[in-house]
C-alpha cells in the first residue's frame, strides 16, 4: 500500500505491506557527532533531470543504529537526521532546477521497540508511523484521498471487498513531467483477515490496469513491496512495454532486505534499497523535456546506496554539523526520543556477557576453541566413540556465541518454563533460526534490544508424551538433506516466502558477498585496505555506470547456521515420553517430519496444544532477567 501526494517540489510515497570491548551506548539521546570515526562518501551524487530518494523496509529503525561495533555506526543517523537531509536535498533540487521525488516501498514495523514496543491494546507501528507524516512522504490515506496506492490489495468493508486505497495515480512533477504510478505488493499469502492480496499475474490482466496505462505519460513510476530480482516485476514491466515500448520505466522495490539494481532494458531501471534504515537509495535519470516523444536511445541512469549517518548526509548536502539540523529534523528526533521513553524502551533486563551474532562465527571453530581452553571439555570426543546425542549436547553448549543458538539452547528452556506446570517434564524445544532477526551486543540488554533481536510475537506449542527416540530425531531430520529436498519439491520454501519469510534470501546475499570478496581480494589485501565493515554490493545485471556503494567497505564475514535449532537434549532413555515444544510457525512441517520418523502414531493438529503464554518476542527479556543479572 503506497501513499502519494503531489507537492510543489517532491513526489511523496509511503509504503506499508500487510567489535571492540563493547563500550556500547544505549542512550536515545541524539548525538551531534557519530560515536566513532566514519568514512565519508567517495564521491558526489550524480544528479539527473529526475532524481529519487528511496527508503524501504525500515521496520521501525527510526532512532538509528546505536551500537559502537561496526557496521552499526554506519547506520547511526536517526529519522530526524534523514528529515534534515531530505530538506537540504529539496533546496539543492530547486537550485539545480530538477525534479526530486521521495519514495518508500513499505514494511514500516516489526523490527524495533519504537514500532513494536507499544503498551497493551496498541497497534504495530501506529505511533512510529506518525513520524513519516512529518516528511514529504506526506501522509496516510485519510489525510490525502487519491494519493494512497494499493493496486492489488483489497479490504472488506460492510461485506464488500474494496481497494484499500487507489489502484493507481497520475500526477505531474514540479517540472511538469506526467507520471503514471502503481503500487504493487508481492504475492503475499499471510495477510490479515478481511483483506485480500491479488496475485500480480492476475492484477495486470484487470481492466482498470489496462485503462491506467493506456495513455502514455512521460514516465511510469512503479513502486512496490516486491524484490527487483527473482520476483514478479517482469510481469508488470512486460504489460507496460506491450503498450509503450519506449516510455521510461522507473521501479522502486523492497522486501528482500538487499541492496540491488538491475535494468530490463536501456530505458528502465529498478532499485532496491536494503533494510532497517541501513541504506538510503539514490536514483537519477536524464530524461527528455516534458511532452517529448520517446525515442530508442538508452537513458543515462545512476544509482547509489548511501550509508545513513550524519557524515554521509552532510557530505552530500554541503552542510556542516552546526548548519545541518533543521527545525523539523530536531522535532522528529525529540519526538522519537519521547516515544522511546513512553514505551520504556530503556528498561534493562540484564547485561549480555558478550556478543551473540547471527552469522559471524563458525560452529566448529567455536567448539574447537572451547575444547582447547576449557579443561572440563577434555573428555569430549567425536561421536565415533560416544553417543551422538551426548556429543551434540556438548557441542551446542560451546556454540552459544551464535545468536540463534542463544535462543534455542538457553533462552527458550528458561523463559518457557517460568511458572509452567510442565516445567518438570523432560522436553526438547525447536524453532527455525530465522526467528532471531538481529545481533545481540555485549552490554546492557534493554526492552528495545529484545524487540530488535526477536520482534515476532509467535506462540510456542507442544505435543506431549512423544517418545524421546522420535523427538530427538526431529531436529536432525529437519536439517537433513532429504528434508531440504522435500521442502523444495513440496514448495515449502516458496510458501514461507509468500508468508513473508525473507531472512533466507538476505543471508544468501551476505554469503555471496563475503565469498566473492575472498575470491577477488583475499584476507591479506582486505586487511591492508583498512576498510570498515559494511555492505559491498555488486549489481550483476545493472548497466548503471560506476560503483553502487557510496562508501567502500569490507564485507561482514558470513558463516551459515542450521535452518532449525533446538534446546539441549534431556539425558533420558529412548522410550521416555517427553514434551516436544516448537514455534507455531513450523507446525505443519514439524508434524510431517515427526510422522516420517515413527509409525506408532499419526500426529495431527489435534495433538497440539499451547505450551506457554510466553511469546517469542518476550523470551529473551525473561531469560536476561533470570541469567544476565
- Express each pLDDT in 10-20 by its tens digit: 223 333 233 33
Mean of pLDDT values over 298-315? 97
- Please check whether residue 455 lies inside any domain of the structure: yes
Residues 6+ apart with CB under 8 A from 180: 168, 169, 170, 212, 213, 215, 217, 219, 220, 221
- Residue 472: CA count within 13 A, CB half-sphere: 21
Whether residue 245 is contained in a domain is answered as yes
Distance CA 214, CA 244 (A): 9
Range of lowest pLDDT (125-139, 160-174, 201-215, 391-405): 391-405
One-character DSSP codes across 349-370: EEEESS-BBSSSS-HHHHHHHH
| pLDDT range class, residue 473, cuts 50, 70, 90 | very high
Which of 318, 343, 368 is the C-terminal boundary of a domain?
343
Whether the per-residue pLDDT at 302 is higher than 70: the answer is yes
d(CA 292, CA 616): 56
CATH number at residue 431: 3.90.780.10
pLDDT at 363: 43
Q: Average pLDDT in the 528-538 region?
A: 86
Listed in sequence order, the residues at least 6 apart from 613 whose beta carbon sits closer than 8 Å to its beta carbon are: none
The pLDDT value given to residue 528: 56
Longest Cα separation, the chain: 79
Q: Which of 343, 377, 398 is the last residue of a domain?
A: 343
Residue 64 lies in a domain: yes
333 and 353 co-located in one domain: no
Task: Report pLDDT for 402.
Answer: 63
Instruction: Note the pLDDT tens digit of each residue in 79-134.
Output: 999 999 999 999 999 999 999 999 999 899 888 999 999 988 888 888 999 999 89
pLDDT at 526: 59
pLDDT at 21 over 50: no
Q: Please answer whether residues 228 and 251 qualify as being in contact, where contact means their C-beta atoms are separated by less than 8 angstroms.
A: yes
**311-357 pLDDT, tens per residue?**
999 999 999 989 999 999 999 999 999 999 999 999 999 999 888 88
Angstrom distances, CA of residue 580 to CA of 470, 472, 482: 10, 9, 22
Cα angle: 457, vertex 461, 463; to 5 degrees: 170
Are 284 and 385 in the same domain? no
Q: How far apart are CA 274 and CA 552, in angstroms?
A: 16
Same domain, 233 and 354: no
- The lowest-confidence range among 351-360, 411-420, 590-599 is 351-360
Residues 389 and 313 in one domain: no
Q: What is the pLDDT of residue 348?
A: 97
Mean pLDDT across the chain: 84
Q: Which of 119-123, 139-143, 484-488 has the least mean pLDDT? A: 139-143
Of 343, 376, 411, at which residue does a domain stop? Answer: 343
Residue 13 or 460, more confident: 460
Residue 523 binned pLDDT confidence (cut-offs 50, 70, 90): low
| Residue 542 pLDDT greater than 50, yes or no | yes
What mean pLDDT is predicted for residues 493-514?
A: 84
For the chain, what percent of residues have pLDDT higher than 70? 83
Cell numbers for 325: 539540523
Percent of the chain with pLDDT over 90: 61
> What CATH code is carried by the domain that includes residue 9?
3.60.21.10
Phi-psi region of 362 (alpha: psi -120 to 50; beta: other; left: phi over 0): beta
Q: Does residue 515 sit in helix, strand or coil?
A: helix
Considering the domain architecture, whether residues 375 and 261 belong to the same structural domain is answered as no
Calculate the dihedral angle through the C-alpha atoms of 205, 172, 50, 200, rounding to the nearest 10 degrees: -20
Q: How many domains are there within the chain?
A: 2
Query: Which residues are CB-contacts of 160 (< 8 A; sequence separation ≥ 6)?
Result: none
For residue 82 the three cell numbers come to 534523514
Same domain, 388 and 453: yes
Question: Are both 233 and 253 inside the same structural domain?
Answer: yes
Burial 398-437 (b: 16+ CB within 10 A, else e): bbbbbbbbbbbbbbbbbbbbeebeeeebebbbbbbbbbbb
pLDDT higher than threshold 70 for residue 33: no
- Whether residue 339 sits in one domain with residue 247: yes
Model pLDDT, residue 164: 82
Confidence of residue 543 (pLDDT cuts 50, 70, 90): low
* DSSP character string of 194-242: TEEE--HHHHTTSHHHHHHTTS--SEEEEEEES-SSSSSHHHHHHHHHT
Is residue 215 assigned to a domain? yes
pLDDT at residue 9 is higher than 80: no
pLDDT band at 518; cut points 50, 70, 90: confident
Is the Cβ–Cβ distance between 149 and 167 less than 8 Å? yes
Per DSSP, the residues of 381-440 read --TTSS-HHHHHHHHHHTTTTBHHHIIIIIIHHHHTTTT-TTTTS-EEEEEEGGG--S-B
530 part of a folded domain: no
Does a structural domain hold residue 408?
Answer: yes
Confidence band, pLDDT 50/70/90 cuts, at residue 489: low
Tell me: do 389 and 253 sit in the same domain. no
Q: Using pLDDT thresholds of 50, 70 and 90, give the confidence band for residue 559.
A: confident
pLDDT value of residue 141: 44
Better pLDDT: 376 or 188? 188
For residue 567, give the nearest of 405, 403, 415 by alpha carbon. Answer: 405
Q: Are residues 366 and 331 in the same domain?
A: no
Structure-model confidence comparison of residues 192 and 201, the more confident one: 201
Q: Which residues span the domain enclosing 458?
A: 348-499+559-627
Mean of pLDDT values over 420-441: 91
Q: Are residues 310 and 377 in the same domain?
A: no
Q: Name the band, by pLDDT with cuts 50, 70 and 90, for residue 490.
A: low
pLDDT at 300 over 90: yes
Q: Give φ, ψ of 586 to 5 degrees.
A: -110, 20
Handedness of CA 485, 489, 494, 496 (dihedral sign): negative
DSSP assignments along 238-291, one per residue: HHHHTT-SSS-EEEEE-SS--EEEE-SSTTEEEEEE-STTS-EEEEEE-PPPTT
Q: Is residue 620 part of a domain?
A: yes
Could you tell me if residue 549 is inside a domain? no
- Mean pLDDT for the stretch of residues 239-261: 97
Q: Cell 500480480, residue? A: 200
**SS3 of 75, please?**
helix
Q: What is the pLDDT of residues 362-415, one digit of tens each?
A: 443 333 333 333 333 333 333 333 333 343 333 333 343 466 667 777 889 999
The mean pLDDT value for 439-449 works out to 93
> Is the pLDDT assigned to residue 32 strictly greater than 60?
no
Domain identity same for 60 and 171: yes
Q: Which residue, among 218, 224, 234, 228, has the nearest Cα to 286 in the 3D structure? A: 218
**Confidence class of residue 163 from pLDDT cuts 50, 70 and 90?**
confident
Amino acid at each position: 500500500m503506497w501513499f502519494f501526494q503531489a507537492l510543489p517540489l517532491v513526489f511523496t510515497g509511503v509504503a506499508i505491506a500487510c567489535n571492540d570491548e563493547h563500550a556500547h551506548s544505549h542512550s536515545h539521546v541524539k548525538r551531534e557527532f557519530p560515536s566513532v570515526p566514519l568514512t565519508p562518501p567517495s564521491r558526489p551524487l550524480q544528479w539527473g533531470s529526475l532524481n529519487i530518494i528511496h527508503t524501504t523496509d525500515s521496520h521501525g529503525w527510526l532512532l538509528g543504529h546505536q551500537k559502537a561495533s561496526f557496521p552499526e555506526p554506519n547506520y547511526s543517523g536517526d529519522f530526524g537526521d534523514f528529515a534534515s537531509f531530505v530538506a537540504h536535498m529539496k533546496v539543492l533540487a530547486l537550485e539545480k532546477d530538477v525534479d526530486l521525488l521521495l519514495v518508500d516501498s513499505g514494511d514500516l514495523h516489526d523490527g524495533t521497540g519504537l514500532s513494536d514496543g507499544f503498551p497493551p491494546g496498541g497497534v504495530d507501528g501506529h505511533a512510529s508511523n506518525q513520524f513519516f507524516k512529518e516528511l514529504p512522504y506526506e501522509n496516510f490515506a485519510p489525510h490525502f484521498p487519491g494519493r494512497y496506492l494499493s493496486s492489488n490489495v483489497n479490504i472488506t468493508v460492510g461485506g464488500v471487498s474494496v481497494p484499500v486505497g487507489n489502484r493507481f495515480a497520475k500526477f505531474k512533477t514540479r517540472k511538469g513531467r506526467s507520471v503514471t504510478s502503481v503500487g504493487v505488493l508481492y504475492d503475499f499469502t499471510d495477510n490479515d483477515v478481511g483483506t485480500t492480496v491479488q496475485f500480480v499475474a492476475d492484477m495486470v490482466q484487470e481492466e482498470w490496469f489496462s485503462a491506467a496505462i493506456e495513455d502514455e505519460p512521460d514516465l511510469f513510476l512503479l513502486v512496490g513491496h516486491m524484490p527487483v530480482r527473482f520476483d514478479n516485476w517482469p510481469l508488470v514491466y512486460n504489460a507496460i512495454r506491450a503498450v509503450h515500448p519506449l516510455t521510461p520505466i522507473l521501479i522502486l522495490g523492497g522486501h528482500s532486505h538487499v541492496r540491488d539494481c538491475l535494468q530490463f532494458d536501456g530505458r528502465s531501471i529498478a532499485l532496491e534499497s536494503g533494510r532497517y534504515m541501513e541504506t538510503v537509495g539514490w536514483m537519477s535519470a536524464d530524461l527528455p523535456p516534458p511532452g517529448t516523444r520517446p525515442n530508442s536511445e538508452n537513458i543515462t541512469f545512476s544509482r547509489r546506496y548511501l550509508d545513513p549517518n550524519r557524515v554521509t548526509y552532510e557530505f552530500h548536502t554541503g552542510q556542516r554539523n552546526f548548519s545541518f539540523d533543521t527545525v523539523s529534523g530536531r522535532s522528529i528526533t525529540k519526538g522519537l526520543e519521547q516515544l522511546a521513553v513512553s514505551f520504556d524502551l530503556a528498561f534493562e533486563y540484564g547485561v549480555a556477557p558478550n556478543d551473540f551474532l547471527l552469522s559471524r562465527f563458525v560452529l566448529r571453530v567455536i567448539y574447537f576453541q572451547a575444547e582447547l581452553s576449557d579443561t572440563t571439555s577434555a573428555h569430549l570426543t567425536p561421536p565415533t566413540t560416544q553417543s551422538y546425542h551426548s556429543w551434540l549436547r556438548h557441542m551446542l553448549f560451546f556454540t552459544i556465541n551464535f545468536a540463534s543458538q542463544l535462543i534455542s539452547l538457553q533462552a527458550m528452556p528458561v523463559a518457557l518454563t517460568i511458572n509452567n506446570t510442565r516445567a518438570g517434564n523432560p522436553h526438547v524445544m525447536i524453532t527455525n533460526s530465522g526467528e532471531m532477526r538481529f545481533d545481540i551486543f555485549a552490554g546492557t540488554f534493554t526492552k528495545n534490544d529484545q524487540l530488535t533481536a526477536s520482534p515476532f510475537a509467535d506462540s510456542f506449542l507442544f505435543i506431549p508424551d512423544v517418545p524421546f527416540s522420535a523427538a530427538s530425531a526431529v531436529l536432525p531430520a529437519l536439517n537433513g538433506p532429504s528434508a531440504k529436498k522435500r521442502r523444495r519439491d513440496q514448495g515449502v520454501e516458496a510458501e514461507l516466502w509468500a508468508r513473508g519469510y525473507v531472512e533466507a534470501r538476505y543471508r544468501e546475499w551476505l554469503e555471496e558477498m563475503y565469498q566473492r570478496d575472498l575470491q577477488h581480494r583475499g584476507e591479506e589485501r582486505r586487511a591492508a585496505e583498512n576498510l570498515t565493515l559494511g555492505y559491498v554490493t555488486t549489481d550483476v545485471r545493472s548497466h548503471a555506470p560506476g560503483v553502487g556503494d557510496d562508501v567502500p567497505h569490507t564485507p561482514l564475514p558470513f558463516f551459515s547456521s542450521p535452518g532449525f535449532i533446538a534446546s539441549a537434549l534431556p539425558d533420558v532413555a529412548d522410550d521416555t515420553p517427553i514434551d516436544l515444544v516448537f514455534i507455531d510457525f513450523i507446525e505443519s512441517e514439524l508434524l510431517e517430519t515427526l510422522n516420517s520418523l515413527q509409525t506408532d502414531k499419526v500426529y495431527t493438529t489435534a495433538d497440539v496444544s499451547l505450551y506457554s503464554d510466553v511469546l517469542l518476542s518476550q523470551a529473551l527479556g525473561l531469560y536476561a532477567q533470570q541469567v544476565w543479572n
